[in-house]
Structures are given as C-alpha cells and as structure tokens.
Amino acid sequence: MLCMVRISATTTFNNLKHALMQTPVLTLPDFSKDFVIQTDASGSGIGAILLQDGHPISYFSKQMSLRLQQASTYVWEMFAITEAVKRWRQCLLGRPFPTIQTDHQSLRSIVNQTIQTPEQYKWLSKLLGYDFTITYRPGSDNGPADALSCVSQGSLNTLQAVSTPVCNVLTALREFLAHHIESLALIQSVADRPADYPHH
C-alpha cells in the first residue's frame, strides 16, 4: 500500500512539474517591467518563483544541507532569499526590482534595522548591489513557493523552468527550401562559384 502511495505521489508531482513548464503557464521576461520574487523555506528545502505582473517566469527549488536543516527559521528564510536572488541575478542586477515576498514577518525590516549578529551580516552581504524591498506574504497566500520548498530529496534536487521562444518560421523555411527546385539550384551555384555571388 505504501509503495502505491509513493508511486502515486511521484506521478502526481511529475505531472505538476510538466504542467508548470508548459507555455500557457510560463511567460518570457519583459525587462521594462519590475520583477517579483516569492520565496519560502521548509525544514528540508527552499522554493522560489520569479514573476512579472502575477505571471511566473521561472521556478526554483533546492534541497538544504543537513547543517542548514539544523538552523533557525530565520536562516532558512534568508537562505531562500539569497539563493533565489543568486539564481536570477542576470535579471536583477543593475535595475530596481520592487519586491521579495516571504512569509517570515521579521525579515520585512532587515534592510533598515541595525545589524546585530554575524549571522545577519553574512546574509545581508550576499544581497549587496541589489535594489529591493522585502514584504510579508502570509503563508496561506504563498502556496506555490511553499510547495516547491517541500520537495523531498528523492524526488528532486533542483527544479528550474525557463520559457524560451521557438522560431517555427525557420523550421518551415528550411523544409520549403529543401524541396524548392529553384532554391536548390541557387544554393548549388553559390557553393560552386562563391565569387559570382558576393552577397550570399
């Protein structure tokens, strides 16, 4: 019975991963708009989502080391934030992004408060160079990031999905040219006498 439940859970999780990576869910980044990062940490892992206008662009999940699993919730949540920022630094460096959303209330004022412990200094130093605001997002509203943070070690170590454009025009053009007699003759002429076709 336990084996059947495990197989069912694995199948369901794999179906969820597949659905999250499909075109209707993910969107491409628009660098004229602000980015939002939602993060969460559980006792075993972290999860994060990069969004714009409420639409996900990318997902990230990572297992925590045994040493980190023994740390405080504060450390878990800061680890989630710093790892998410590091993962998407190419989108975030050199431009303001307004919000990092977390369900850990004490992190809201971390940028403005006096650094009192070496631990705070360690985590904040990893965020230098980024212009951001940390806001509180209640756990009940933070479901997707929470689900990514609860991925078991055996299921997945890292999940990242990025959407990319697919140029169907080039594929169709290649197929057309492969059967078009005049084009094939021109391609052969260019290959045989390149000096006669300086612009090809």
Q: What is the pLDDT of residues 46-80, one digit of tens each?
A: 888 888 888 888 888 888 888 888 888 888 888 88
Longest dimension (CA), the chain: 76
Do 116 and 192 fall within a single domain? no
What is residue 70's predicted lDDT score, i.e. its pLDDT?
Answer: 86
Do 156 and 194 fall within a single domain? no
Amino acid making up residue 118? P
Spatial neighbors of 2 by CB under 8 A, at least 6 apart, are none
Rounded CA-CA distance 64/107 in Å is 19
What is residue 137's predicted lDDT score, i.e. its pLDDT?
Answer: 75
pLDDT over 70 for what percent of the chain?
68
Q: How far, CA to CA in Å, does 101 sit from each of 109, 119, 182, 192?
A: 12, 21, 59, 61
Do 101 and 185 fall within a single domain? no
Spatial neighbors of 177 by CB under 8 A, at least 6 apart, are 183, 184, 187
Whether residue 21 is predicted with pLDDT greater than 80 in this model: the reply is: no
Do 69 and 136 fall within a single domain? yes
Q: Mind listing the pLDDT tens digit for each residue in 88-123?
A: 888 887 777 668 878 766 665 665 566 667 777 777
Spatial neighbors of 188 by CB under 8 A, at least 6 apart, are none
Q: What is the pTM of this model?
A: 0.58
Do 50 and 72 fall within a single domain? yes
Structure tokens at 188: 């052969």
Residue holding tokens 């405080």? 72
Whether residue 24 is predicted with pLDDT greater than 80 in this model: the reply is: no
Give φ, ψ of 76 to 5 degrees. Answer: -55, -50
Average pLDDT value for the chain:
74
HSE-up of residue 148 (Cα within 13 Å, Cβ side): 24
What is residue 1's predicted lDDT score, i.e. its pLDDT?
Answer: 43
Domain span at 174: 166-200
The DSSP 8-state label assigned to residue 31 in this structure reads: T
Across residues 147-176, what is the average pLDDT? 62
Per the structure, the count of domains in the chain is 2
Do 189 and 124 fall within a single domain? no
Whether residue 2 is predicted with pLDDT greater than 50 in this model: the reply is: no
